[in-house]
Structure 1
Amino acid sequence: MNDNTTPLGALSAEGVSIWLDDLSRERIKSGGLRDLIDNRHVVGVTTNPTIFAKALSDGEAYTDQVRELAAAGTDVDDAVFEITTKDVADACDVFSDVAAATDGEDGKVSIEVSPKLARDTDGTIAMAKQLWDKVGRSNVFVKIPATVEGLPAITESIAQGVNVNVTLIFALDRYRKVAEAYLAGLEKAKENGLDLSKIHSVASIFISRVDTEVDKRIDASDDGAVKELRGKVGLANCRLAYQIYEELFNTPRWSVLAEAGAFKQRPLWASTGVKDDSYPDTMYITELTAPNVVNTMPEKTLVAFDDHGTLHGDAVTGTYANSNAVLDGLQTAGISYQEVMDQLEDEGLKKFDVSWDELLDSVKSELARYAGQ
């Protein structure tokens, strides 16, 4: 069972929920997912189209279902829907005891609305409800991207009682709007007579992609002083997001919702696998430890932290002045924070689109393989 003296055990004791950024049917069937819960303090899972496409291409765990779908003449979009929702529903069942033990805050498994709908508010609302109903588990999260068009979809989904993992957050002003969209959704849910204690949300703020793009611009800069900011902007951005979180969830507006049983929308640190080998491979865990956050990790990062991760307590609270100085230093060097964040959102959406197309192609090939059998 879980050992609280390990690095992951210590991280959990600091108030960080450890989630795995990966899922496959093989991991579910083999007991590997259960083992991570029992022995690595994992209390949730996030997924995306790339993860599903990779899972489908590895091994034969999907053969029986794909054969049945092919025999029924199922089209590729419906087949993707059936395959992914089955994995997520099964994983939700594996995490059901974690969900029960944490009043539903953890034990969550995320599934993503089609990225093709990222600029379509109504389409996102409709698909979020469709995924919620199909999975049929109270511990599922539906992932909605934090685009301008996604913000009202977040509010409406929450108002309908759908748990939402808001993904692809980069800029601080967008994060603030995401949190406000959640609050507005809770207020509508309360008006609708829903039990707020059953509604949950996280806000997924991406990290390593920020440093990759900013570091590239720093390296091209003639300003020697800005070189000191390499590898610091992603951390500063998250730390200032946590400051916004503390502010918004400590207001009279929030108090009314909390008294009605609402849970805070926790910040989730995403894209936590370090992409620059010159940085410690556990940097985005150690340096973003804080109470009531989620850190979703690729398995490689999770294993690395459990092997040699170190902690120095809360690494976020009280860092806000230094974090603002980091962002100010970028501006002084002529690197536009907003331009970087806008670019990362656009690139993120394009990457999601490519991943979705790859998933569709993978399923299409598998359906063709078993057609007529």
Structure 2
Amino acid sequence: MEGMKPRIALPPFPRFRGRLHDARTATSIGRWLGLAITVCFLTGVTSHYLQRPPDWLADLLPSRPTWGYRFSQGLHVASGIAAIPLLMAKLWAVYPRLFVTPPLRSVRHALERLSVAVLVGAGVFQLFTGLLNIVEWYPWPFSFVPVHFAVAWLLAGALLLHIVVKWPEIRSHWGLRSAGTLELPAEDAADRRSLLTAVGAGVAAVTLTTVGQSFTPLKRLDLLAPRHPDHGTQGLPINRTAYAAGVSAESARGWRLTVAGPKPYGLSLAELEALPQYEVRLPIACVEGWSVEARWSGVRIRDLLERAGASPRSRVRVVSLERRGAYRVMEMGATYAEDPMTLLALRLNGEVLSLDHGFPARIIAPNRPGVWQTKWVGGLEVL
């Protein structure tokens, strides 16, 4: 009719007709993707409860092995990064099945479609928001940690439902050779091996060029990770600078540590340095996946608690000089407080702490997330 605007035709979805868009290829890739997501989920839950333990768990968290958090968080980030090319390959293999018609054929098919929709959505969300987190870019309005933790459980549930619904088909294609009529032409087997080799090479490439930020024997290959374990002031990377925390040399001038307990007291930096000093080798292990071991020296937290008339197994609140930030106040469970390796550190690798590393004093404790190795400590409070 006259006056009506012509209708603009939308471009059709891409149509993939290759032979390898089949259940056998999807299963071959899916078992490795499932393993990567399972490892990522379990280490992520471990990381979350080490960062934000419920009250009943706070005094039970272990301080040993000293490298525990370094290992679990490094594995968490590495498995998450490895899962990205696996997820892309999996979606490529199943793409034609995502838009079948009719969309719902039975109750079982509806459950399958629901599990796939949630699985794809949650998987893409988790992996790519996690990737942005390790470069500390947050282009979203929500708090990353609680949302990432909640969606992790959603992803785990969707994966479990998907495996249950698809188990007959998965079992048929799981082995090295399919049975009966499911056996595919020989030419497809060669192409499939080439595809899986390429996917494996991609996973190996992204892993080897990023895992060095935590697994330091491979640090020379650390080309794509946002941190290098040797780059930073005093040989350690820095996530949060003194400037970002609102701490300056002027604000630290005349610093005095306050310890609140049954016998409260205060110590100047000179008085703190006059106390027995201990040296430990402990890693800083950050939630973004990088970690590096260093030599720290300072006063044991348990000695400071005993001087305040408190039990060395007391829970401790640590308050930083920083003016803002979600980690300005930290609570340390009794297991960490009594560990002889937990220090109020004054020196790093034999040198006085730089301002960015927490001058005049910071916490260093074994098996602890880096965000809770509080810098610029102003006070300790016995709880």
TM class by shorter chain equals under 0.3
Q: TM-score, normalised by structure 1?
A: 0.25
Larger Rg, first or second structure (1 or 2): 2
Q: TM-score, normalised by structure 2?
A: 0.25
Report 1 or 2 for greater relative contact order, CA contacts < 8 Å, sequence distance ≥ 6. 1
Structure with the higher helix share, 1 or 2 = 1
